[in-house]
Structure 1
Amino acid sequence: MHLLVVGAGTMGRWFARSVAPVVDRVTFADEEAAAARAAAAGLEARLADREDSPAVAVDDGGPADVVCVAVPISAVAAVVAEHGPRAERAVVDVSGEMETAVGALRDAAPDCERASFHPLFAPDNEPGNCAVVVDRGGPAVRAVRDALSERGNHVFDTTPAEHDRAMTTVQARAHAAVLAFGLAAESVPEEFHTPVSAPLGGLVANLTGGNPAVYAEIQAAFEGADEVAAAARRIADAAGDPEAFAACYADAGAGGFGADREPGDAADPGDTGSGGPGA
């Protein structure tokens, strides 16, 4: 089975090496020819010691059994339209947005198997959870899915609407909140950090150590930052008003991350129950 990966960045390279055990040929395409050559050389070197490693090359413009689109969210529709028709068996994407992607896959390859995969982790943090929408199943998509599962990933089914709604919280709003803390925080000696501030600092470091263009794409694709800003303003406006702050506290506890907490449970592991919270 010949796999063509369109987009020779971090995610495209990850997908190629993940699916390598179930294909016999991998080719890379990228708008920058040097990136495609580097990806091919990197994968070939990485698989050199494995038996039955697939042949690796740069795209020659011909058809492929499976076409995987691994490009930024904003480019998916155009790239799928260009390269999707080259697929003879299946076309998939790993862009991270599904409503537009699934529609583009369907339009470009109506007679092929189709699936949109979203690994909810950076490649260096594998294994992890991987969402998938199987728009039209078959043996090629199943082989890809099995290959990802064999690496220890939890591949679970979803719908485009459910996925994109979830990304508003777990990506757009989460990233906005973490970056806002990073912008607002001042440097303090390590001894002052609490069970809340220390993990937040770690999240800031993790997020800002990545590629800002990737996070910009997420903010553009999913709403979230405005809601985080409005929530922060509500908390700021409640300063000096115990009742208003208590309402914020209660509403946050009843929200998506507090709904399963039993009444009376500690809201924070550092809360000592005394006049000075440990958080």
Structure 2
Amino acid sequence: MRTLVVGAGSMGRWLADALDGPVAFADADPAVAREAAAAAGVDTTTADIDGTDTYDVVCLAVPIPVVGDAVAAQADRAEHAMVDVTGEMASPLAAMREHAPDLERLSLHPLFAPESAPGRIAAVTAEPGPRVDAVRTALTDAGNEVFETTQDEHDEAMETVQASAHAAVLAYGLAAESVDGRFHTPVSADLQALVERVTDGDAHVYADIQSRFDGADAVGAAADRIADADRDEFERLYERLQDGTTDDGDGDTEGA
């Protein structure tokens, strides 16, 4: 299976490493594509980002804001299938439906950074077929757990597990004062470790997530509610979390 990977950053390289058969990298920066191909070694080449050469499968590993344009630009280069690992589902799947209606179509979201692979991968199979099956099999053979979902279920979950989670961690990092490490408790030490983990990356990736998914406002509202709570209200909020509930019993979620 001949594959074109558009986007030669860390996620594109991770994907190419898992796939079987020859792979070509294309990137807006040709030097990045050449570096990725050289690092991958045998059966890996480069391709012009604006080229017209075709492949069995075209895989997109591009930032969230440009995935729609990337699908439109690269769809004609896919002979059988298009796949993306963008991190959101609605935009790439809508673009594939418009520009590649006759192709197999698969949207993937690795729920981990490449250096933490293998891990769980959310998948939406919009149009099944042997090539997208081959991609899924290669990822499973590499030790990943690929599970099927829907675009709405995925994108709604990302509001919590990405936008809210990142906002909460970064907010702690911004609010925390520098203290002698001897004062850290297990909770504060874990939070500080999360701040360091989240900030050991690319700001634009996290900015893309915050721009695409709601969630930060809910964290801010919850923090305000805790700050404004009297003792009784604080204990009630605390006990709700102990019970695993995030609403007031009337179905309205607050601060979830």
Give, in whole Å, the separation in 1 of the partners of 2:170 and 2:87: 20
Matching residue's letter, 1:219: Q
Q: Which amino acid aligns with 1:63?
A: T
Deviation at 1:255, TM superposition (A): 4.8
Quick one: structure 1 residues 125 and 173, their matched pair in 2 at CA, closer, same or farther if it must change by over 3 Å?
A: same
Corresponding residue number in structure 1 for 2:250: none
Aligned runs of 1:25-44 on 2, under 5 Å?
25-44=22-41
Counterparts in 2 of 1:201 and 1:256: CA distance versus 1, 3 Å:
farther
Provide the TM-score with structure 1 as the length reference.
Answer: 0.84
1:58 partner amino acid: T
Provide the rounded CA distance (Å) in 2 between the counterparts of 1:190 and 1:34.
Answer: 43
Aligned CA distance change for structure 1 residues 205 and 82 (closer, same or farther; 3 Å):
same
Alpha-carbon separation, structure 2, partners of 1:108 and 1:6? 16
For 1:66 and 1:42, how far apart are their aligned partners in 2?
Answer: 21
Aligned residue pairs total: 244
The residue aligned with 2:154 is: 163
Q: String of CA shifts for 1:9-54, please: whole Å, max 9, x gaps.
A: 11111111111xx22x21111111111111111111xxxxxxxx5x
RMSD across aligned C-alpha pairs, in angstroms? Answer: 1.5
Paired with 1:109 and 1:37, the residues of 2 have a C-alpha distance of 28
2:73 to 74, 77, 82: 82
Amino acid of the structure 1 residue aligned with 2:57? V
Matches of 2:148 and 2:172, distance apart in 1: 33
Partner SS, residue 196 of structure 1: helix
Residue range with higher mean Cα deviation, 99-108 or 219-228: 99-108
Question: Taking structure 2 as the reference length, what is the TM-score of the superposition?
Answer: 0.91
Aligned counterparts of 1:188 and 1:164: Cα–Cα separation in 2: 37
The structure 1 residue matched to 2:61, chosen from 66, 70, 75, is: 70
> 1:104 and 1:255 mapped to 2: Cα distance?
38
Question: 1:48-105, CA deviations, whole angstroms, 9 ceiling, x for partnerless residues?
Answer: xxxxx5x221115201110001100000000001102210011000000001111111
Select which of 131, 138, 143 maps to 2:134.
143
Tell me which structure has the larger Cα radius of gyration: 1
Say if 1:80 and 1:185 are closer, same or farther in 2 by CA, change over 3 A: same
CA separation in 2, counterparts of 1:147 and 1:179? 35
* CA–CA distance in structure 2, aligned partners of residues 253 and 127 of structure 1: 32
Evaluate the alpha carbon distance shift between residue 256 and residue 218 of structure 1 in structure 2; reply closer, same or farther with a 3 A threshold. farther
2:175 aligns with one of 173, 176, 184: 184
Q: Which runs of 4+ in 1 moved over 3 A?
A: 251-257
- Taking every aligned residue pair, what percent have the same amino acid on both sides? 55
Instruction: State whether structure 2 residue 206 is matched by structure 1 residue 215.
Output: yes
Partner of 1:58: 46
CA distance in structure 1 between the aligned counterparts of 2:212 and 2:242, rounded to whole angstroms: 27
Change (3 A) 1:126 1:80: same
* Unmatched runs of 5 consecutive residues or more in structure 1: 45-52, 258-279
Map 1:194-205 → 2, pairs under 5 A: 194-205=185-196
| Displacement after TM superposition at 1:254 (Å) | 4.4
| 1:108 aligned residue | 99
Distance in 1 (CA, whole Å) between partners of 2:86 and 2:245 is 25
Unaligned runs of 5+ in 2: 247-256
